[in-house]
Each structure stands twice: as C-alpha cells, then as structure tokens.
C-alpha cells in the first residue's frame, strides 16, 4: 500500500482498549480526510474503513517508529508534520480538523505498547527492515540443524553450551554500548586477529551476557590486550594461569555483580558470563584453544570464567582507588590468577595474629621455597577485614605488615634446604629474600559476612615485567 502523502495515518491493534475506543471514529475521519489505518493484529479491526490494512509483518509500524498505539500522524507532502498517541481528544480534533470528534468520549485515555516493541521483535524488525549492517561473516545453518550442536561441532564453545549468536541477539547486545560496532579495540592473541566491538558482542551473546554487561566485557578485553598483561604468555604457559577479572565502581552494582556470599563461585549471571565472554573472545577471535596454543598441564576451572566484584562497603580503599582511580569510576582489573587457596583462621582476634596467618598461607604461592616469581591476590572476607578495620588498620597498613613478615631467610629456601631439591640458588643462603616482587601483592575485600575465611589466589609464576603484570582499565559506556 502506498503511504498517505497528504492526510492521516493511524496505527492500532485490537487488543488495546484505547484502540477499541477510537475504532468507531475512524470511518468518520475517513469521510473527510485521506486515511490509512495499519492494524497490528486483527484484520477485523476497522474492517469497514476503506484505508485499513493488516500490518502483519509490522513493517509499516516499524518504519513509522511506532512506540504506542493508537498513534495518529498527520502527513503533508509525504512528510510527517505532527503526531499524537493514545487518545487525547483535543489533539485528535486538531490533527483531523474535526471539532466535534469524539463527543461523549473521555478527554484522555492512555495507549498501549506497540507490538514492534515486544521482546525480541524490535531487533528482528531492525534486521529485516532497518539499515543494519554486520561486519562479521554470517554462517548459514540448515533449518534441520540444532544450533546448539552446531556451535559445539564448529569449535565455538568452551565445552559448555553457548547461546547461538543470531543477528537479532547481537543487535540487542550492541544496544548495551554507545561505541560503534566497527570500532577496532585491538589485536587478539595468539593469532593477533583484529577484534571489533561487534565481535566482542557476538561472544558476549554466546556467553549469556545481558546487553548492560557489554561495556564491562569490552573493558576486560581491552585490558587483556595491554602488553603488560602478557595475554599470549598467560595463554600458552603450561602452568595454571588464566585471566581473573575484578570489577570496581558503580557499574558493578548497577549490573548486579556479586561481591558477597559465594562471590568467587557460581550463581550470579553477571559474574559468570562477563568472565566467560572474555575467555570466548580469546578462543573464538584469537584462536586460543586448549591443546593447540593453550598448553596448560592441568588447567584451572578459572579458564571457563573467573570474575567477581570487590566489596566496597567498608573504610578500606578499593583496588581501583589503590591503583589511581576515583570511587566514582568503574574499572576492571585483570590478574593472571590460578586457583583459590582457602585460609581458615577462626581464632585470631588481633590484626597482628591474623596477619601472621595470612603471611604463612602466602608463603605457599608457587612453592614455599620460591620467591619473587608469582604475584598473589589476597581476598579478605568481611569478618576477617573487620579485625583489621576495628584496630585502625588500612589495607595499605596490612600490606606493609605482610611484606615485612614475608622477608624470608634464604637459608630456608635454597636448593636442598629441608631435604627438598626445589628452591632458590645456593648463593642466596645468607640473604633475606622478599616473597613477592615490589607491587606483586594485591588485596581485595569480598565474600559473605559470615565465616572467618579468606583466600589466596596465586599469580602466574612468570608475574612481573617479563611475564604478566596486573592491569586496570576504566569502563566506558
């Protein structure tokens, strides 16, 4: 049907009470003014109006940017000059030029949502009728194929099912950021393949992310591509390392990330899918697949996903603030982490005693007889952190004490000491050796409020300038 060049357009649906209210008026309007009526659901609606057609594909409704029905639009010379939605008697009278229109009807009635805005429909219409282009190659799948199984067969998964990245889902994901889909954010190792915002969105869909998570995923990918993080080395090492994503700032709370009970575990969609999306980008864009360039001897469950938010509801500075950002900024910090080693101390009630417990547990990073190799992340639970906070200890004060306690006698750590062949060179027997390199011990606060438990997450044994250094990236919208 040719759109009205000079006249009126009405978009309506039968299931809307306000559309039913104005239905009897449409023949009156059509008697004096050229009128097109686009019905979204039932051809019986306004069946006696000559200009009524069923908009079964919703193309007309989409192209007219319909958000609410009924919508009344006045056209002049093929261009829209004014519209109103719902039933506002004065507006309808002015646009139709009929001063007695709707006599006896209420003055105002709200409309209903257009079918073009129903879940999943808006993206489908944008793909079918909008000016949407995708940079990524479309993969044609036979109608008889199971999309989930196709993803497995083509090697796009991490061993768990992924969400098939249809055009509609990718378009919906891209709505989560203001960044252009074709913006190149870097070259992803190991194959150094160009990665765009769109490619990250595709993998975020596959990981199960919501659109509002996409800015965090983008920041995590950008952080992984910073040279100092050494993503290629983290990927190809035979050790256990994998990117651990720590999120700070208002955005962590806005998207519902978990920094409390079971923060390092399962059950929170944002934590689980943000970390997973990063891993899928490395796999599907960069080509980092287990058994190929990923040569981990044992691996770690963190290679599926390892992501949590820091609890920022205490007097302690957050990790982001410690690293030069403000409380109002949202950031991701990437740490090349291994597994979670629990610290159980349910008896220490002074900061001095608890710090000694932490230091003893930290000695085990990599091996009790190795030093200045792997970094470490100490995750302090709220109950343990309260011991320090109530004693007036800041996070930096705790770190200083731990660094003091971790000045270790070389005689206990050299090759052969304790009957253990592993260890430092014999020449260091008379030295005092720091367990961690300067800046190699990070501290965050997370976990449930019940339980006198904290944890050590060891870093890759090649931590530091020649291996992997923790990096922090601000999250952009």
Q: Is residue 332 part of a domain?
A: yes
User: What confidence score (pLDDT) does residue 2 get?
Assistant: 53
**112 and 156 part of one domain:** no
Positive or negative torsion for Cα 343, 349, 354, 356:
negative
Measured CA distances, 177 to 185, 214, 269, 386, 395 (Å)? 14, 7, 19, 38, 34
For 74, how many CA atoms within 13 A lie in the half-sphere containing its CB? 14
**81 and 33 part of one domain:** yes
**253 and 368 part of one domain:** yes
Residue 58, token pair as written in the block:
């919703």
Q: Is residue 377 part of a domain?
A: yes
In angstroms, rounded to a whole number, what is the distance separating the alpha carbons of residues 230 and 30?
69
CA-derived radius of gyration, the chain: 30
- Strand 7-12 versus strand 35-39 pairing type: parallel
Q: What angle do CA 270, 289, 281 make, to 5 degrees?
A: 40
Positive or negative torsion for Cα 157, 159, 164, 170:
negative
**Residues 286, 236: contact at Cβ < 8 Å?**
no
**Residues 38, 9: contact at Cβ < 8 Å?**
yes
Q: Is residue 138 part of a domain?
A: no
User: What confidence score (pLDDT) does residue 136 get?
Assistant: 82
Q: Which domain holds residue 264?
A: 149-413+429-474
**267 and 163 part of one domain:** yes
Residue among 219, 204, 197 nearest 162 (CA) = 204
What are the φ and ψ backbone dihedral angles of 31, each rounded to 5 degrees? -70, -20
Q: Is residue 143 part of a domain?
A: no
User: What confidence score (pLDDT) does residue 41 get?
Assistant: 95
pTM higher than 0.85, yes or no?
yes
Positive or negative torsion for Cα 383, 389, 394, 397:
negative
pLDDT in tens, the chain (477 residues): 456 899 999 999 999 999 999 999 999 999 999 999 999 999 999 999 998 999 999 999 999 999 999 999 999 999 999 999 999 999 999 999 999 999 999 999 999 999 999 988 988 999 899 877 788 888 888 778 888 899 999 999 999 999 999 999 999 999 999 999 999 999 999 999 999 999 999 999 999 999 999 999 999 999 999 999 999 999 999 999 999 999 999 999 999 999 999 999 999 999 999 999 999 999 999 999 988 888 899 999 999 999 999 999 999 999 999 999 999 999 999 999 999 999 999 999 999 999 999 999 999 999 999 999 899 999 999 999 999 999 999 999 999 999 999 999 999 999 999 999 999 999 999 999 999 999 999 999 999 999 999 999 999 988 888 889 999 999 999
- Strand 193-196 versus strand 35-39 pairing type: unpaired
**Residues 187, 225: contact at Cβ < 8 Å?**
yes
**Residues 74, 64: contact at Cβ < 8 Å?**
no
**39 and 89 part of one domain:** yes
Q: Is residue 142 part of a domain?
A: no
**53 and 172 part of one domain:** no
Positive or negative torsion for Cα 327, 329, 334, 337:
positive
Q: Is residue 450 part of a domain?
A: yes
User: What confidence score (pLDDT) does residue 1 get?
Assistant: 45
**170 and 66 part of one domain:** no
**308 and 189 part of one domain:** yes
**87 and 183 part of one domain:** no
Here the CATH number for the domain that contains residue 16 is: 3.40.30.10
Question: 3-state SS string over the chain?
Answer: CCCCCCEEEEEECCCCHHHHHHHHHHHHHHCCCCEEEEECCCCCCCCCCCCEEECCCCHHHHHCCCCEECEEEEEECCEEEEEEECEEHHHHHHHHCCCCCCCCCCCEECCEECHHHCCCHHHHHHHHHCCCCCCCCCCCCCCCCCHHHHHHHCCCCCCCCCCCCCHHHHHHHHCCCCCCCCCEEEEECCCCEEEEHHHHHHHHHHHCCCHHHHHHHHHHHHHHCCHHHCHHHHHHCCCCCEEEEEEECHHHHHCCCCCCCCCCCCCCHHHHHHHHHHHHHHHHCCCCCECCCECCCCCCHHHCCCEEECCCCCCCCCHHHHCCCCCCCCEEEEEEEEEEEEEECCCCCCHHHHHHHHHHHHCCCCCCCCCCCCCEEEEECHHHHHHHHHCCCCHHHHHHHHHHHCEEEHHHCECCHHHCCCCECHHHCCCEEECCCCCCEEEEECCCCCCCEEEEEEECCCECCCCECCEEEECCC
In angstroms, rounded to a whole number, what is the distance separating the alpha carbons of residues 334 and 437?
18
Q: Is residue 136 part of a domain?
A: no
- Residue ending a domain, among 128, 159, 174, is 128
**Residues 316, 391: contact at Cβ < 8 Å?**
no
| Domain count across the chain | 2
**19 and 59 part of one domain:** yes
Q: Is residue 139 part of a domain?
A: no
**153 and 16 part of one domain:** no
**93 and 186 part of one domain:** no
């Amino acid at each position: 049907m040719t759109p009205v060049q000079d006249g009126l357009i009405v978009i309506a649906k039968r299931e809307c009470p306000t559309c039913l209210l104005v239905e009897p008026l449409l023949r009156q309007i059509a008697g004096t003014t050229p009128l097109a009526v686009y019905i979204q659901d039932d051809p019986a609606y306004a069946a006696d109006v000559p200009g009524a057609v069923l908009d079964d594909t919703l193309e007309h409704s989409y192209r007219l940017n319909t958000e609410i029905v009924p919508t009344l639009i006045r056209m002049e010379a093929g261009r829209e000059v004014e519209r109103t939605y719902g039933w506002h008697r004065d507006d309808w009278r002015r646009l139709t030029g009929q001063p007695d229109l709707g006599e006896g009807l209420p003055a105002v009635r709200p409309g209903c949502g257009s079918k073009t805005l129903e879940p999943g429909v808006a993206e489908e219409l944008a793909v079918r009728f909008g000016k949407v282009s995708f940079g990524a190659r479309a993969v044609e799948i036979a109608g008889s194929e199971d999309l989930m199984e196709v993803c497995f067969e083509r090697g796009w998964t991490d061993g768990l099912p992924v969400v098939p990245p249809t055009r509609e889902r990718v378009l919906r994901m891209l709505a989560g950021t203001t960044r252009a889909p074709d913006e190149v954010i870097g070259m992803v190792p190991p194959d150094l393949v160009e990665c765009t915002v769109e490619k990250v969105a595709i993998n975020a869909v596959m990981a199960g992310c919501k659109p509002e998570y996409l800015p965090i995923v983008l920041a995590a990918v950008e952080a992984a591509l910073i040279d100092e993080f050494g993503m290629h080395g983290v990927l190809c090492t035979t050790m256990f390392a994998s990117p651990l994503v720590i999120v700070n700032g208002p955005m962590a709370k806005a998207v519902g990330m978990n920094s409390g009970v079971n923060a390092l575990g399962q059950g929170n969609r944002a934590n689980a899918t943000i970390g997973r999306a990063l891993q899928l980008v490395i796999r599907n864009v960069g080509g980092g697949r287990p058994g190929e360039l990923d040569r981990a001897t044992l691996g770690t469950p963190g290679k599926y996903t390892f992501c949590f938010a820091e609890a920022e509801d205490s007097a302690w500075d957050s990790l982001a603030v410690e690293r030069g950002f403000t409380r109002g900024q949202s950031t991701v910090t990437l740490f090349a982490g291994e597994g979670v080693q629990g610290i159980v101390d349910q008896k220490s009630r002074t900061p001095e005693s608890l710090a000694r417990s932490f230091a003893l547990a930290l000695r085990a990073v990599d091996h009790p007889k190795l030093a200045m190799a792997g970094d470490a992340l100490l995750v302090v639970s709220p109950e343990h952190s309260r011991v320090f906070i109530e004693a007036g200890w800041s996070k930096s004060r705790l770190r200083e004490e731990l660094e003091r306690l971790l000045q270790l006698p070389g005689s206990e750590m050299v090759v052969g000491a304790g009957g253990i062949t592993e260890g430092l060179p014999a020449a260091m027997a008379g030295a005092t050796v720091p367990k961690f390199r300067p800046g190699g011990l990070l501290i965050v606060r997370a976990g449930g409020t019940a339980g006198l438990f904290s944890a050590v997450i060891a870093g890759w044994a090649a931590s530091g300038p020649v291996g992997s250094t923790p990096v922090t990236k601000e999250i952009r919208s």
